[in-house]
Amino acid sequence: MGGAGTTWWGEFPVGRSDVRFWQVGPLRLWITRSDGEWRLAFLGGDDSMDATLDVNEPVREEDVDPAAAVVRFGFRKPGESVRILPALPDRHLVVNPVTPFYVPSGERITLYVSAPLWMSLWAGDPRRKIREIPTFRPTDTWFGPSTRVGEVCYASKTGARMELESLPRRPHRAVVVVTVINRAVSQLPLEKLKLPMPNLSLFASEDGRLWTEGITLTRQEDGEQAAVTLDADPPAQAGDAVRVGDARLRVERGHLIRAFGHILDFM
């Protein structure tokens, strides 16, 4: 059973015919190695608040849930360990505040938002990625000014927390620190916020919590447009954090990212 500070990623030896079990939030995963192959069985849950953490637990074959999806991967040289890495979503994440949220004119605020994580599994000699599994798959949503202009994103609700301590700690989610600066005359309604998850990296703090680079949104004039920049490093709140995952799509940190759309539209 995982405890405080336990990390579910890393390099894990798996003996021949052994069955190893992970539960990271709502996701349950069983990993088995045999001669020439790796087998994964996985089953997602629908409770996004589930904070269960079990790491590399030895179990029996009959303990694998019969409802789990099963996939097999063949190798000439399967190796003797599996590498599990955390990864951010492969699409932008549209977050909607649970209650209406406004930033008055002239204000600068910091919000703490959490984003779901994927498990990236690597095996074989040499190492190859064999699967990515969402610990919790958000629902799909269309984001754009019309049905013809926009893109498919993931959708998530947020409490738009203004104190880190009030953000529930869950092993299957990363912390995104968003700074919002409203220099316009009118107040800024945060009805929807599209976070550029494929452009962000992952960092682990000393206590095992995962973070992305900070995001700064600056609204200069009245209207729906804003300038969005990504910090070069993890936020100061992460402490002495180390990089554990690169961005899927690289952009130059500290430079302007295109922002447009209804209320706020990142990228």
pLDDT per residue of the chain (267 residues) written in tens, 0 to 9: 444 457 999 999 999 999 999 999 999 999 999 989 999 999 999 898 999 999 999 999 999 999 999 999 999 999 999 999 999 999 999 998 888 889 999 999 999 999 999 999 999 999 999 999 999 999 999 887 778 878 899 999 888 899 999 999 999 999 999 999 999 999 988 888 889 999 999 999 998 999 999 999 888 877 666 788 888 889 999 999 999 999 998 876 554 444 434 435 433
Verify that 76 and 108 share a domain, yes or no.
no
* pLDDT at site 221: 79
Cβ burial, residue 44 (10 Å; 0-12/13-18/19+): middle
What is the count of structural domains for the chain? 2
> Are residues 226 and 212 located together in one domain of the fold?
yes
pTM score, whole prediction: 0.88
82 with 199, same domain?
no
* 253 and 205 part of one domain: yes
- Report the pLDDT value the prediction gives residue 253, as an integer from 0 to 100: 53
Range of the domain at 34: 10-86
In a shared domain, residues 72 and 102? no
Whether residues 78 and 94 fall in one domain: no
Please report whether residue 1 resides in a domain: no
Are 51 and 74 in a shared domain?
Answer: yes
Residue 21 maps to a domain: yes
Residues 31 and 111 both lie in one domain: no
Tell whether 262 is covered by a domain. no
- Do 218 and 97 fall within a single domain? yes
Residues 97 and 160 in one domain: yes
Q: Are 148 and 80 members of one domain?
A: no
Question: Is 121 within a domain?
Answer: no
Domain presence at residue 130: no
